[in-house]
Amino acid sequence: MNPSQLPVWRDLQQHQRRLAAQSLARLFDAEPQRAQRWTREAAGVRADLSRDLIDESALASLLELARAMRVEEWRARLFNGEAINHTEQRPAWHTALRTPPADAATSAALAAERDRFLALAEQLRAGQIEGATGKTIDTVICFGIGGSDLGPRLVTEALGAPSGPKLHFVANIDPVELDAALAHANPGSTLLVAISKSFTTLETLANVRAALEWMRERALALDAARHLVAITSMPARARAFGVAAERVLTFPDWVGGRYSLWSACGFPIALAHGRARFEQLLAGAAAMDLHFATAPLADNLPVLLAALGVWYVNFCGLRARAVMPYAQRLRHLPGYLQQLEMESCGKSVDRDGAPLSYDTSPIVWGEVGTTAQHSVFQFLHQGTHACPVDFVTCAGFADSPIERERLLFMNALAQADALACGDRVLGAAQAKPAHAATHGGRPSTFITVPQLDARSLGALLALYEHRTFVQSVLWNINAFDQFGVEIGKQLLTQRLTR
């Protein structure tokens, strides 16, 4: 189904022309209670949509588009584990990792593998795992790239200071990252964790081999197998690589890399913060799953955010979205969301392989606040390309006993208001010269979690997952393959075999 051929698509074009003559300031004037009326909450995550360039009529048409594109049917298929990733003939059932599926056998198998990797994480945290020379493992280096790295790295840092063994992440094949991780490590007390779904990922395996060579150079008699853990969907390949069978942790092949932090790929999170907090992360995501699965479309937060995403790209012509987390611990959120959305929705053909006549994924970018205010906000306020912004912060900062956290929250609010209404928010009686004037009309969504804890973070990330999925349904594309990633790998293989 081509959404641009539906009558409601033309209705939305008319809504855009109507609202283009409006301003956000006028929308607030016409609706004094706009902030309250346009705020939604799900699983503790609150989103204030009042600064988005939208009104009730346009929203109603966006929801009509969602119904016409059968969002509710596709949502059911996602949760039922149907093969909605049709190009690879498999489900995209990452929700089953945190919301137990009805099938008892599948649920039991997932729980058993979860127990395996969480138990290993707890043993390492308790100092119960020794290397080949009898030294307790005190350093763990996790090797992955893309979804095998971005999600675990984000969550590990977002949950605050880790406990347990020293933990490092290595993704880039550039030797600098691995060299830094090995700089203060001891071969006899270091564990290498290779995270690769296929267990053929060139960067990951090349880095692991380099680390193994580093071990052998410094400890000639070292049994490297005692210092290896693999996390993969292809256990036979991991065993062939030299990983002991009991150290191979697995996850199903229907778990896509960018949706994998809820699986054994989340082992680094459990290692850094413990089993209980990892389970709280799952519980927060499950709470968002329940909301997404049951809430009416008009109150369904992932659906509303997805509808706004399509509204800005296809009707307002805004082909980028900025993500500005106002929390240093969320500094990796923009990078994580870049992959989640741009790899999922960066497609140019529909589910039947037909070329698209409309745009799909926006460019997703961002920087942590408040440092972004001193770098990119000039572009956001006065640049020629309007760009919607997601402000993401912690509601608890608003009345924090720490003054700088209160200032952080007030900065986020101030920037959102300034983008929306421009100089008007200052109440200035005299007009500014053109070079100093900011006219507003720049939309944003203000998203808060109650605290930066595991449950809230799980709900937030699941919200963005479901938002991305709904956008793919509205665009009639497959969100769960990424063949555009493969061509570079294939060309590299050709070069290596010449």
Residue 497 lies in a domain: no
User: Are 85 and 100 contained in the same domain?
Assistant: no
Question: Of 73, 213, 217, 374, which residue is the catalytic one?
Answer: 374
- Containing structural domain, residue 249: 94-273
Q: Residue 444 — φ and ψ, nearest 5°?
A: -155, 160
User: Are 12 and 122 contained in the same domain?
Assistant: no
Measured CA to CA, the distance from residue 46 to residue 344 in angstroms comes to 24
Q: What is the pTM of this model?
A: 0.96
Question: Of 343, 367, 405, 465, which residue is the catalytic one?
Answer: 343
Percent helix / strand / coil, the chain, rounded to 5: 55, 10, 35
> Which residues partner with 85 through β-bridges?
90
Residue 130 lies in a domain: yes
Q: Residue 408 — φ and ψ, nearest 5°?
A: -60, -50
User: Are 102 and 63 contained in the same domain?
Assistant: no
Question: pLDDT band at 428, cuts 50/70/90?
Answer: low
Examine the pLDDT at 312 and tell me if it is beyond 70. yes
Tokens describing residue 443: 């939309």
Residues of the chain with pLDDT > 70, as a percent, come to 99
Q: State whether the Cα torsion 40-44-45-48 is positive or negative.
A: positive
489 is catalytic: yes
- Which residue among 243, 273, 303 closes a domain? 273
Give 232-280 pLDDT, tens digit per residue.
999 999 999 999 999 999 999 999 999 999 999 999 999 999 999 999 9
* Total tally of structural domains belonging to the chain: 2
Residue 401 lies in a domain: yes
Exposure string for 340-362, b = 16+ CB within 10 A, e = fewer? bbbbbbbbeebbeeeebeeebbb
User: Are 114 and 253 contained in the same domain?
Assistant: yes
Average pLDDT estimate for 415-444 = 88
Whether the CB-CB separation of 202 and 143 falls below 8 Å is answered with no
**Which of 50-54, 56-60, 430-434 is least confident?**
430-434
Closest CA to 491 of 204, 143, 202, 257: 202
- Which residue among 242, 273, 304 closes a domain? 273
- Which residue among 273, 293, 312 closes a domain? 273
pLDDT at 431: 79
Measured CA to CA, the distance from residue 350 to residue 250 in angstroms comes to 32
Whether the CB-CB separation of 247 and 241 falls below 8 Å is answered with no
User: Are 48 and 164 contained in the same domain?
Assistant: no
Place of tokens 């009326």: 37
Residue 490 lies in a domain: no
Measured CA to CA, the distance from residue 259 to residue 97 in angstroms comes to 10
User: Are 313 and 363 contained in the same domain?
Assistant: yes
Tokens describing residue 307: 């509808």
374 is catalytic: yes
Residue 495 lies in a domain: no
Give 445-489 pLDDT, tens digit per residue.
999 999 999 999 999 999 999 999 999 999 999 999 999 988 887
* CATH at 198: 3.40.50.10490
Place of tokens 């920037």: 415
